[in-house]
Structures are given as C-alpha cells and as structure tokens.
C-alpha cells in the first residue's frame, strides 16, 4: 500500500507557549490529521490540515452512544536533536484492539504510523526542549453518523491532535498518595476496561473527586467482582516491589494493557529481576506494608512515565510505603525509561523510533 496524505499547511501559525506555561493538554499545535470512514468506501481522504474545530450533526453517534476510542503517546526531541516516538506500533495495535471491542472498523497500522510521522514532523517546532517536556500525541476515533438507533455508526473520523506538555515532575520525581476506592468500580471483565474508550474515564471522575477530598492524588481501583484485587492506579498500571520480587496485576480483562507497563516488565526482567503478573489483593498489599515486605510501589503510564506511590489511604488509615520517599528501584526504572525515550541512554530494545 502506498499511503497518500494530502497536506494543507496553516497560513496562520499560532504563538507557542512558554515551557513554564505548558501543563498537560492545554495547548494544541498548528496542524491535525484527519481521515474519514464511510461504509462501503472504507477509510479515505487522509489529510493533514490546520488545527480546526470539528463540525458534527447534534445526532452524531459519538454524543449519544459513546462509540469512540483513543490513544496517547509522546514525541521527544532526543539529546542528539532527533525526533522520536516511543513504541508507536504498540499504540496502533492497541488502537485496533480498542476499535474491535467498540465495533469500529480497523485502521491500517501503516496508515496510522505514517500519519503520526508526518504530523509530528510538520509540527516539530512545537516539541518543547526543556528537560522532561515532550509533545503529547492524541489519536482518536469518533462515530459521526447522525442517527439515534443504537447500532454501529456507518461513518467515523480518525483524528490526531498534538499538545506540547510540561514536565510532570517540575520539582523532581515525587511520590503521591493514593486513595483505595471501595465504593466505585472502574471496569469489570466482559466490559470495556481493557480498551481505551472514552466512557471509562468519565466513569472514574466521581471516585477521583472523593480521592481529592481525602487529600489524595489518585484512586487505586479494585476489581468489580470480588472488590479486592488491585487493578490500576488512576489512569496508570501499578507495580509493587515485595521483597525482591516485583508484582503487577495480571491482564484479567478489566485493566488496560499499558505500553509503559509492558516496557517496565521487559526492563525489569532484562535486569534479571523476577516479575510476577498475577492477582494481588488489597489485603496482600496492606499486609505486606504492615510486615515491612512492601518496599516500593509505583504507577506506569505515558503521561507521568513512572509515578512513585508514597502512601495508601485505606479504611481510614494512611499506610506509608517504605519510608514514603521514591524507592531506589522506582527511581532506576524512571531514569532508564525516560533515558531511553529521550535518547539520553542507549536503547537495547529498539523502542525509540526516530522519525527523521
């Protein structure tokens, strides 16, 4: 397949924000990618156009039935001035798993990757270069058919937008406190928690409000069936260091298969460490905290890369993990992951994909 992407460049480039103003997902670059889908015609008219509003019929299915999926990855300017993505093929594969679950037609992986490459390069001056900043890339698909029957849409748009994002840890990597959620449930096996679809996130807002009220940064989700197995932390996967073993929840169908998770598992095993993917109950975690075997805990995800957990709030008690500071393994994983991503260190795995 030769991939044709029509390009219409902006004639009115926007002023770029200062590194200090960036935050997360507040500013958007000059261009966006769009490709349309129509039943019978397939995906067609791939184009890069000036960043612009989307115009939809108020009956578009995305508004009513939530048929939509998304991805998230980052483009970095490496130490040597190259522009790179981190494992973008994994994002395209997951995007198609999400599409399949949400009854959205698949998108050719090569089209997605080529769109990412061309779009990032066109807006490459938007990649911030202060330490630990990056360009966040957001591919998403929305169902655009204007019809109120509950059935798969006959029309879609696959869109990619990009946002320069600031350092997650402006003052250095710092542990967060986490609220163990016992009332709300994020997802259940048989549902859609294992894919990246919009509804999963709105469903979690209420729990997040509760966590914030308790002074916590994020929620630790427990499974919806037994209400005891640990699933994810906020929008991140989660790892525990129990003695010298590392444990992370198995992919049981209700949690997302994070690309950072996969990379961290590889990395730890590459270092010769033992990693178990299995069920881990909140009782096991709190017991290990009490007997001192829970040494470290951290979340993994594209936004923060690694997020150390300093304490857990559970049944009215605050449980400090280790001495409450960032654990040594956590820090090593963080340094190595961000090092590989930004080209500060060698990439033995072929994860960093240079675009130019």
Q: Within positions 56 to 85, which residues make up the interface with ligand PLP, using CB under 6 A?
A: 72
Cβ-based neighbours of 271, under 8 Å, separated by 6 or more: none
Interface characters, 29-48, with a second copy (x: CB under 8 A): ---x----------------
Q: Which does residue 244 bind out of ligand PLP, a second copy, none, counting CB within 5 to 8 angstroms by kind?
A: none
Contact in structure between 46 and 160 (CB atoms under 8 Å): no
Q: Which does residue 32 bind out of ligand PLP, a second copy, none, counting CB within 5 to 8 angstroms by kind?
A: a second copy
Among 3, 13, 50, 70, binds a second copy (CB under 8 A): 70
Contact in structure between 179 and 310 (CB atoms under 8 Å): no
Q: How far apart are CA 207 and CA 239, in angstroms?
A: 21
Residue 46 or 107: the one with the smaller Cβ distance to ligand PLP is: 107
Question: Measured at the alpha carbon of residue 58, what is the angle toward residues 56 and 62, in degrees to the nearest 5?
Answer: 70
What is the token pair recorded at 214? 């308790």
Residue 32 or 265: the one with the smaller Cβ distance to a second copy is: 32
Question: Does residue 238 touch a second copy according to CB under 8 A?
Answer: no
Question: Does residue 152 touch a second copy according to CB under 8 A?
Answer: yes
Question: Does residue 96 touch ligand PLP according to CB under 6 A?
Answer: no
Give me the residues paired with residue 300 across strands.
Answer: 237, 306
Question: Does residue 258 touch a second copy according to CB under 8 A?
Answer: no
Q: Which does residue 236 bind out of ligand PLP, a second copy, none, counting CB within 5 to 8 angstroms by kind?
A: ligand PLP
Query: Given phi > 0 = left and psi -120 to 50 = alpha, else beta, which region is 256?
Result: beta
> Of 67, 42, 203, 45, which is closest to residue 147 (Cα–Cα)?
67
Contact in structure between 180 and 220 (CB atoms under 8 Å): yes
Residue 38 or 353: the one with the smaller Cβ distance to ligand PLP is: 353
Among 88, 258, 327, 343, binds ligand PLP (CB under 6 A): 258
> Of 21, 70, 24, which is closest to residue 192 (Cα–Cα)?
70
> Of 260, 208, 249, 350, which is closest to residue 74 (Cα–Cα)?
260
Q: Which residues bind a second copy (CB under 8 A)?
A: 23-26, 28, 32, 51-60, 62-68, 70, 101-103, 136, 138, 140, 142-143, 146-152, 159, 161, 163, 183-192, 197-206, 208-209, 224-225, 227, 234-235
Q: Which residues bind ligand PLP (CB under 6 A)?
A: 72, 196, 232, 235-237, 256, 258-261, 300-302
């Amino acid at each position: 397949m030769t991939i044709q992407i029509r390009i219409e460049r902006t004639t009115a480039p926007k002023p770029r924000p200062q590194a200090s103003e960036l935050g997360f997902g507040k500013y958007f670059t000059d261009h966006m990618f769009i490709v349309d889908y129509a039943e019978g015609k397939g995906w067609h008219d791939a184009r890069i156009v000036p960043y612009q509003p989307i115009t939809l019929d108020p009956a578009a299915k995305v508004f009513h039935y939530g048929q939509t999926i998304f991805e998230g990855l980052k483009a970095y300017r490496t130490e040597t001035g190259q522009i790179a993505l981190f494992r973008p093929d994994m994002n395209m594969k997951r995007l198609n798993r999400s599409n399949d679950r949400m009854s959205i037609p698949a998108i050719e992986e090569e089209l997605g990757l080529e769109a990412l490459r061309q779009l990032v390069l066109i807006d490459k001056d938007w990649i911030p270069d202060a330490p630990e900043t990056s360009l966040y890339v957001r591919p998403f698909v929305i169902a655009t058919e204007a019809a109120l029957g509950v059935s798969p849409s006959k029309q879609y748009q696959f869109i990619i937008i990009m946002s320069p994002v600031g350092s997650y840890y402006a003052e250095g990597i710092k542990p967060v406190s986490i609220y163990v959620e016992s009332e709300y449930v994020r997802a259940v096996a048989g549902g859609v928690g294992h894919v990246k679809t919009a509804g999963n996130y709105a469903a979690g807002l209420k729990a997040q409000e509760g966590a914030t009220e308790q002074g916590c940064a994020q929620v630790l989700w427990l499974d919806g069936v037994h209400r005891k197995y640990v699933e994810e932390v906020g929008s991140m996967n989660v790892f525990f260091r129990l003695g010298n073993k590392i444990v992370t929840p198995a992919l049981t169908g209700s949690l997302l298969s994070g690309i950072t998770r996969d990379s961290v598992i590889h990395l730890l095993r590459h270092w010769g460490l033992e990693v178990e993917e299995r069920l881990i109950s909140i009782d096991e975690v709190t017991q290990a905290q009490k007997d001192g075997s829970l040494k470290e805990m951290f979340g993994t995800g594209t936004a923060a890369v690694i997020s150390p957990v300093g304490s857990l709030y559970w049944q009215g008690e605050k449980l400090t993990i280790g001495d409450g500071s960032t654990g040594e393994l956590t820090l090593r994983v963080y340094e190595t992951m961000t090092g590989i991503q930004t080209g500060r260190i060698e990439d033995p795995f072929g994860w960093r994909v240079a675009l130019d």
